[in-house]
Amino acid sequence: MILLDGKKVSANVKAEVAKEVKELNEKGASVCLAVVIVGEDPASKIYVRNKKRACEECGIKSLEYALPENTSQEELLSLINKLNSDKEVNGILVQMPLPKHLSEKAVIDAISPLKDVDAFTDANVGKIMIGSYNFLPCTPAGVMELLKSENIDIEGKNCVVIGRSNIVGKPMSMLLLHKNATVTICHSRTRDIASICRNADLIVAAVGRKHFLTADMVKEGAIIIDVGINRDENGKVCGDVDFENVKEKASYITPVPGGVGPMTISVLMKNTLKAAALQRDTEI
């Protein structure tokens, strides 16, 4: 079994980004990500802190807008519009989930597709479908980087994605398909997931349930990617995969933490750099 080390691969990706940012700085240009967080969700605060730390590592300037829980839709949209037209801001990230009274769809729709570093806007989602992207979807692209780091070729392989969310499952399936995998998407209404998984050469678990994928669902030698971030009964972070037992059968497996999570953030850094390039080429 080979561990797919997200911390190591992510450090390499960030080092490449840092090198390019330094070159831009030397030419007098800078790269800037605006991060918007509304409310006090503890997990969101940790994600925002990690993203800001990654920006520092890459030499990317980060601007944090921490808005109170009772922020109105109009106030949030007005901030997004201001950031859209601010030439110093290259990328805009609104940390999800938003408080219930705010429309996530309306907020995403308001972000300029050229600054949409999460690749959540309709325009960028459409590009992912076609396979001609400005921005890669962060988590699925992070998974692809991990596979590339070990030269894992997925052409013709049976790949099963468990989960069909707009941010993970669906774009993950598209990226695998673009690499000529045969992709099956499973979800809460799928019948007999275990037998579908047992036929898979590669499984991506993006369910959000601790120990969802157990060893009896995995064929010998399968590649296992665990996107899940859950907490066990002791409050410890764990994924969707029963790691201790599944690792005995897997050829490659990602740990949680230290697998897909760090990759998501390094792709965000890549996207912010890309956004800066796009804006240099385009009149906003």
Q: Over the range 23-59, which residues count as b (16 or more CB within 10 Å of their CB) and which as e? A: ebeeeeeebbbbbbbbbebeebeebbeebbebbebbb
* Residue 160 in contact with ligand NAP, rule: CB under 6 A: no
By CB under 6 A, name the one of 59, 91, 140, 169 that touches ligand NAP.
Answer: 169
* Residue 260 in contact with ligand NAP, rule: CB under 6 A: yes
Cα dihedral 60, 261, 41, 112 sign: positive
CB of 6: closest distance to ligand NAP in angstroms?
9
* Residue 13 in contact with ligand NAP, rule: CB under 6 A: no
**CB–CB of 160/203 below 8 Å?**
yes
* Residue 255 in contact with ligand NAP, rule: CB under 6 A: no
Q: Over the range 115-141, which residues count as b (16 or more CB within 10 Å of their CB) and which as e? A: bbbbbbbeebbebbeeeebbbbbbbbb
**Region near ligand NAP per CB under 6 A, out of 65-73, 112-120, 159-167, 196-204:** 159-167
Q: Which of residues 181-210 bind ligand NAP (CB under 6 A)?
A: 186-190, 193, 206-209
**CB–CB of 103/112 below 8 Å?**
no
Active site residues: 51, 95, 118
**CB–CB of 138/268 below 8 Å?**
yes
Cα dihedral 150, 197, 258, 169 sign: positive
* Residue 230 in contact with ligand NAP, rule: CB under 6 A: yes
Considering the complex, state which of residue 99 and residue 208 has its C-beta at the smaller distance from ligand NAP.
208
CB of 207: closest distance to ligand NAP in angstroms?
4
User: How many chain residues interact with ligand NAP (CB under 6 A)?
Assistant: 25
Pattern 114-153, ligand NAP, x by CB under 6 A: -------------------------x--------------
Max intra-chain CA distance, the chain: 57
**CB–CB of 275/284 below 8 Å?**
no
- Which residues of the chain form contacts with ligand NAP (CB under 6 A)? 139, 162-165, 167-169, 186-190, 193, 206-209, 227-230, 260-261, 264
